[in-house]
């Protein structure tokens, strides 16, 4: 007769309790030491097996590791064990290495206790501390834990300007500590979403991060839950547009921490916007505006944008040549019924980011792919003529519009860029001339060219009023 599984488990638990009766539970430190010892033992066994299979490893270390095939988490235990181990490591770092709010209050109190007050040149009172006081604070904090050591190195004291008495201001130093703590906390937070543990976040990892951040942002409290997926797509695209120029599909955590994009997202933690909400890409107003523009352009309401629909973007004066190049070079989908290529929302977001930030290196690279029609890494007078003829075609629809000659435009563009090689322009030339965004917009946006060509007369006619350029659809 086979016993039920629950009875077998109950008996096993009883036997285990009887075996461990009278034994004291090991301390957390002992458990960590035992864990490290077991891990080292496993590493040593693995090394011995490798050396048996390949004896040369005893004298020549392995410098290439074949990339493991992706494992199916539904059938393999290994990725789940790795994820759990990584999660526990991060929890340990959070509890033992990072400072909390109470620790920061302790630091500030000790700094003020060891510091003194002096008068600045503007006669205001400034709290300062010398190196002896700094060292005393360090020693006192080390009694409370090694986690304070990284913030009180002698080199940190020397980074700050000192007065004739060799003292530094307390407030700037404390601000430095707070920023370092916030940076460490952010790194750990992002590492939780690093599913592969490789130091970078894939697109779906970033989407999970943004999605779980939404409830913690007071400025997104009124965001409807149905809009969450579109908000996530909108937010994630900015990170990948700026931090993944080669379109690898991943962003390094190190790059995320050093970029100004993450602080822009964290501004939403404030109860109220610090400035105009629409200027923050991550604000609810900005996301709704971009998505609303997408819906407005989608005339047939099929969820995708055709060439004709995208041509209505902005001023409605983008050239047909430019629109065709966008659909040729960037990811689109073919309509099953019409066979026409159409653009989805994610590709549209890249397009919007490039159009709204033409002067940035990322936008210049985005548009360069469209201009380099021969894929030779450079453009010449023929390419400029090819794109500018489309500008002339649009401007001819405007009554009374004077059209500049192609030769004049070519000469002006070469003068603006000042390329290293006469007669051709490279991507590096555009990136280093500080006029790359202007040059590019002159070749694909008739409205932008008209504004540039008439900039002097417009400045004379109006100073701060809104510019009102001709529009072919008026």
DSSP secondary structure string, 73-102?
TTT-SHHHHHHHHHHHHHHHHHHHTS--HH
In this prediction, residue 467 carries a pLDDT of: 46
In this prediction, residue 381 carries a pLDDT of: 87
Looking at per-residue pLDDT, the higher value among 464 and 378 belongs to: 378
Looking at per-residue pLDDT, the higher value among 100 and 457 belongs to: 100
In this prediction, residue 131 carries a pLDDT of: 92
Cβ–Cβ < 8 Å for 268, 282: yes
Work out the pLDDT band at 474, boundaries 50, 70, 90. very low
Cross-strand partners of 343: 305
Q: How far apart are the first and last CA of the chain?
A: 89
In this prediction, residue 2 carries a pLDDT of: 47
What mean pLDDT comes out for the span 14-29? 78
Q: Tokens for 172, please give them.
A: 């700037």
Cβ–Cβ < 8 Å for 128, 170: yes
In this prediction, residue 164 carries a pLDDT of: 87
Question: Which tens digits make up the pLDDT trace of 133-183?
Answer: 999 999 999 888 888 888 899 999 999 998 888 889 999 999 999 888 888
Cβ–Cβ < 8 Å for 130, 165: yes
In this prediction, residue 7 carries a pLDDT of: 56
Cβ–Cβ < 8 Å for 51, 58: yes
Alpha carbon separation from 340 to 294, 350, 386 (Å, rounded): 18, 20, 24
Looking at per-residue pLDDT, the higher value among 471 and 362 belongs to: 362
In this prediction, residue 472 carries a pLDDT of: 47
In this prediction, residue 132 carries a pLDDT of: 93
Work out the pLDDT band at 76, boundaries 50, 70, 90. low
Looking at per-residue pLDDT, the higher value among 88 and 53 belongs to: 53
In this prediction, residue 39 carries a pLDDT of: 83
In this prediction, residue 473 carries a pLDDT of: 46
In this prediction, residue 277 carries a pLDDT of: 67
Looking at per-residue pLDDT, the higher value among 29 and 255 belongs to: 255
Q: Exposure string (b/e) for 125-150, b if CB count within 10 Å is 16 or more?
A: ebebbbeebbeebbebbeeeeebbee
In this prediction, residue 300 carries a pLDDT of: 85
Question: Which tens digits make up the pLDDT trace of 111-123?
Answer: 998 888 887 777 7
Q: Exposure string (b/e) for 18-52, b if CB count within 10 Å is 16 or more?
A: eeeeeeeeeeeeeeeeeeeeeeeeeeeeeeeeeee
What mean pLDDT comes out for the span 341-369? 91
Q: Exposure string (b/e) for 156-189, b if CB count within 10 Å is 16 or more?
A: bbeeeeeeeeebbbbeebbeebeeebeebebbbe
Residues of the chain with pLDDT > 70, as a percent, come to: 89
Residues of the chain with pLDDT > 90, as a percent, come to: 26
In this prediction, residue 392 carries a pLDDT of: 86
Work out the pLDDT band at 68, boundaries 50, 70, 90. low
For residue 409, count other CB atoms closer than 10 A to its CB. Answer: 21
In this prediction, residue 461 carries a pLDDT of: 63
Question: Which tens digits make up the pLDDT trace of 310-333?
Answer: 988 987 888 899 999 999 888 778
Question: Which tens digits make up the pLDDT trace of 417-436?
Answer: 888 888 888 889 888 888 88
Rounded-to-integer distance, Cα 188 and Cα 96, Å: 12
Does residue 462 carry a pLDDT above 70?
A: no
- The mean pLDDT value of the chain amounts to 83
Does residue 37 carry a pLDDT above 60?
A: yes
In this prediction, residue 301 carries a pLDDT of: 86
In this prediction, residue 287 carries a pLDDT of: 92
């Amino acid at each position: 007769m086979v016993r039920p599984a629950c009875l077998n488990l109950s008996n096993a638990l009883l036997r285990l309790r009887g075996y461990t009766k009278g034994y004291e539970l090991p301390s957390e430190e002992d458990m960590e030491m035992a864990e490290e010892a077991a891990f080292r033992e496993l590493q040593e066994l693995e090394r011995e097996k490798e050396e048996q299979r390949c004896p040369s490893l005893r004298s020549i270390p392995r410098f290439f590791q074949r990339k493991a095939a992706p494992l199916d988490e539904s059938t393999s235990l290994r990725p789940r064990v790795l994820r759990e181990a990584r999660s526990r490591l991060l929890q340990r770092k959070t509890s033992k290495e990072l400072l909390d709010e109470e620790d920061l209050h302790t630091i500030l109190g000790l700094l003020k206790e060891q510091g003194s007050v002096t008068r600045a040149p503007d006669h205001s009172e400034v709290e300062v501390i010398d190196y002896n006081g700094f060292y005393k604070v360090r020693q006192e904090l080390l009694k409370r834990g090694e986690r304070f050591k990284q913030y009180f190195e002698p080199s940190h004291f020397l980074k700050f300007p000192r007065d004739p008495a060799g003292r530094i201001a307390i407030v700037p130093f404390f601000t430095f500590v707070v920023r370092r703590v916030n940076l460490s906390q952010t790194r750990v937070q992002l590492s939780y979403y690093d599913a592969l543990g490789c130091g970078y976040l894939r697109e779906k990892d970033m989407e999970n991060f943004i999605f779980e951040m939404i409830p913690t942002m007071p400025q997104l409290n009124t965001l409807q839950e149905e809009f969450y997926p579109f908000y996530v797509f909108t937010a994630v695209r900015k990170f990948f547009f700026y931090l993944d120029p080669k379109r690898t599909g991943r962003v390094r955590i190190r790059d995320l921490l050093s970029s100004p994009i993450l602080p822009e997202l964290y501004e939403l933690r404030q109860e109220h916007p610090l400035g105009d909400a629409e200027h923050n890409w991550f604000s609810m107003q900005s996301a709704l505006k971009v998505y609303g523009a997408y819906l407005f352009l989608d005339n047939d309401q099929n969820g995708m944008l055709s060439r004709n629909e995208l041509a209505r973007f902005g001023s409605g004066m983008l050239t047909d040549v430019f629109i065709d190049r966008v659909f040729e070079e960037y990811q689109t989908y073919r309509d099953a019924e019409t066979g026409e290529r159409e653009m989805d929302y994610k590709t549209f977001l890249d397009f919007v980011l490039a159009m709204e930030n033409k002067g940035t290196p990322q936008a210049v690279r985005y548009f360069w792919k469209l201009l380099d029609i021969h894929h030779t890494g450079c453009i010449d007078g023929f390419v400029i003529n090819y794109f500018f003829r489309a500008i002339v075609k649009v401007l001819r629809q405007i009554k009374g519009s004077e059209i500049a000659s192609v030769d004049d435009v070519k000469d002006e563009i070469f003068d603006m860029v000042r390329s290293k090689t006469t007669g051709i322009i490279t991507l590096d030339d555009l990136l280093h001339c500080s006029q790359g965004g202007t040059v590019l917009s002159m070749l694909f946006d008739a409205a932008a060219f008209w504004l540039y060509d008439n900039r002097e007369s417009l400045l004379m006619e109006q100073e701060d009023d809104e510019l009102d350029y001709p529009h072919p659809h008026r």
